[in-house]
Amino acid sequence: MDLDTVQLKLRDFYKRHQRLPTHGEMVKLFHYSSRGSTRYLVQKLLEEGIVSKDEQGKLVPKSLLDIPVLGIIKAGYPMPADVQQDNYLRLHLLFDSLPPDTFALQISGDSMIDEGIYEGDFVLINKHQEVKNGDIVAANVDNEWTVKTFKREGESVVLLPANKKYPPIRPTVSLEIGGVVVHVIRSYR
């Protein structure tokens, strides 16, 4: 079985189970007769950088989840795409670089649309990143949570929406910053 087919089966397994298969599961998945065949396959996957092992020795995706970056495309007037070779969006590196206490929130509402954050999007929040003017934050304002742009005005803070139909928010009782938005994830289907 070629590596492309192996990767497709591993991605499908990962999608269904949110983990890579054990050696025993690989025997069934690839229709092998013994675990010895899976040891050879795992070694090949490790050598190719498709998977790696975590601290406990479990297999984890490495380039298995990479998505090829084929070039740059303009969102303005149509023009030929600039084609790039051997360039990948390495998703595992993106998520490996997040601190362990990063969390996700799903967006409800349209107050941040001018920042490209729409209803149904997921935002990834870093709880311990230092908040700076202009950062988009998850904030508990007067006992209600919201996502807005942080702005310090002298000794006070204002939280700015990114939609003209909403007014700025000035805390009157309390303000707690839950973290800084570091990524936005959107699905179209």
From the list 43, 46, 41, the residue with the least C-alpha distance to 27 is 41
What 3-state DSSP class applies to 176?
A: strand
Burial class (CB in 10 A: 0-12, 13-18, 19+), 117: buried
Q: Examine the residue annotation and report whether 151 is marked as an active-site residue of this protein.
A: no
Task: State the virtual CA torsion across 90, 93, 96, 97 in degrees, nearest 10.
Answer: -130
Q: Which of 53, 62, 111, 174 is catalytic?
A: 111
The alpha-helical segments, DSSP class H, found in the chain are 3-17, 23-29, 35-47, 91-96
Which single residue is written with the structure tokens 């983990």?
19
* Angstrom distance (rounded) from CA 52 to CA 95: 15
Which single residue is written with the structure tokens 């929040």?
125
Report residue 125 as tokens. Answer: 């929040």
Q: Examine the residue annotation and report whether 74 is marked as an active-site residue of this protein.
A: no
Burial class (CB in 10 A: 0-12, 13-18, 19+), 183: middle
Q: Which of 15, 33, 52, 148 is catalytic?
A: 148
Report residue 182 as tokens. Answer: 């570091």
Catalytic residues: 111, 148
